[in-house]
């Protein structure tokens, strides 16, 4: 059973389009995250949700809108896609944030290519 799953695995789209990436975790965790890994392989946090509430927004453009319908799901919607949005997006989850050293579990990633 996959702990953190993401769909789709690959996404190729044109500039200007709107797309969504879905994430689900079956670990019963309270906190979910979105990270972006760019072409230089730097991994950077974008958003964090705890029990459906936004707790971190790392100065990500407004075109990116996370949505958490319940604590097991955190979807990422991107409007008006730009070339610079091309990256691998990772979803992650953890129990009660990173309190006292809790680990994060990462999904397999979604490779987004904007043409």
Partner 1 sequence: DAKTTQPNSMESNEEEPVHLPCNHSTISGTDYIHWYRQLPSQGPEYVIHGLTSNVNNRMASLAIAEDRKSSTLILHRATLRDAAVYYCILTPLYAQKLVFGQGTRLTINP
Q: Which stretch binds partner 1 (CB under 8 A): 19-27, 38-46, 62-70, 73-81?
A: 38-46
Question: In the set 42, 62, 69, 83, which binds partner 1 (CB under 8 A)?
Answer: 42
The span of 18-26, 63-71, 78-86, 103-111 binding partner 1 (CB under 8 A) equals: 103-111
In the region spanning residues 45 to 74, those forming contacts with partner 1, defined by CB under 8 A, are: 45, 48, 55-56, 58
- For residue 103, what are the contacts with CB-CB under 8 A and spacing of at least 6? 94
Tokens 């990173």, residue located: 98
Nearest CA to 34 out of 42, 26, 25, 44 is that of 44
């Amino acid at each position: 059973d996959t702990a953190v799953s993401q769909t789709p695995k690959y996404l190729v789209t044109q500039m200007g389009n709107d797309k969504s990436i879905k994430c689900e975790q079956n670990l019963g965790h309270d906190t979910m995250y979105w990270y972006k890994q760019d072409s230089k392989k730097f991994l950077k946090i974008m958003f964090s949700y705890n029990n459906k509430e936004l707790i971190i927004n790392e100065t990500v453009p407004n075109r990116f809108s996370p949505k958490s319908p319940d604590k097991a799901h955190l979807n990422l919607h991107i409007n008006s896609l730009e070339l610079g949005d091309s990256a691998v997006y990772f979803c992650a989850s953890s129990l009660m944030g990173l309190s006292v050293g809790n680990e994060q579990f990462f999904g397999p990633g979604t490779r987004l290519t904007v043409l």
